[in-house]
């Protein structure tokens, strides 16, 4: 599968099966696992208004950093689809009506964020602390851009930064720092740089 790289921690730590069917099963399992991990992180939340603070972006960053661009993006696309088909995966439930939720733009951004962070991870960006931090900061922009534009259609452009950006900076910075510490540290533990 495209996107598999020896610059991805998951490819160093989980051996690739010999048969094609087992390789496919491994890929599917990884994609589904991170979709469900994102769903679990959606339930770790603080309700603060129109957009809740959740641990979802931590899962999104890690899905890209660990799985790479294609698998990371597919895991988040699967998360989005399962949520729209009614699985209670989103912070406030699920279902097709979520298309009309002010937070839906952020969920769309998860796919782009995971792809972008995965792209950088495939090029070795998650092996040291500085480049990992930079990859995660830049990746977060791919969540905010569609999220803020979509939210603006509900609250207006004059309020969008106050409602959909500023309250999330401390939490996002904490999640980014946590993931930044985690990835290069795991590379050192597994000694696979």
- What are the structural domains of the chain? 9-190 (1.10.1760.20)
Q: pLDDT (tens digit, 9 = 90+) per residue, 153-179?
A: 999 999 999 999 999 999 999 999 999
Q: pLDDT (tens digit, 9 = 90+) per residue, 24-75?
A: 999 999 999 999 999 999 999 888 877 888 999 999 999 999 999 999 999 9
Q: What is the pLDDT of residue 5?
A: 65
Residue 171, burial from CB neighbour count under 10 angstroms (0-12, 13-18, 19+) = middle
pLDDT at 148 over 80: yes
pLDDT at 193 over 60: no
Average pLDDT estimate for 129-144 = 97
Q: What is the pLDDT of residue 192?
A: 61
* This prediction's pTM: 0.92
Residue-averaged pLDDT of the chain: 92
Reported as a pLDDT band with limits 50, 70 and 90, residue 3 is very low
Q: What is the pLDDT of residue 57?
A: 95
């Amino acid at each position: 599968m495209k996107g598999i790289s020896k610059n991805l921690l998951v490819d160093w730590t989980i051996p690739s099966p010999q048969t094609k069917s087992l390789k496919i099963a491994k890929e599917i399992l990884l994609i589904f696992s991170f979709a469900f991990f994102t769903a679990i992180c959606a339930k770790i939340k603080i309700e603060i208004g129109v957009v809740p603070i959740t641990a979802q972006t931590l899962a999104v960053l890690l899905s890209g950093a660990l799985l790479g661009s294609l698998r990371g993006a597919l895991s988040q696309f699967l998360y989005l689809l399962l949520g729209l088909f009614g699985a209670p995966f989103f912070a406030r439930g699920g279902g097709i009506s979520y298309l009309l939720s002010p937070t839906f733009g952020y969920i769309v951004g998860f796919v782009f964020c995971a792809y972008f962070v995965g792209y950088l991870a495939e090029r070795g960006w998650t092996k040291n602390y500085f480049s990992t931090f930079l990859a995660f900061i830049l990746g977060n922009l791919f969540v905010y851009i569609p999220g803020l534009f979509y939210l603006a259609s509900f609250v207006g452009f004059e309020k969008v930064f106050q409602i959909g950006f500023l309250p999330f900076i401390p939490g996002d910075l904490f999640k980014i720092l946590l993931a930044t510490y985690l990835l290069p540290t795991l590379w050192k533990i597994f000694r696979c740089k």
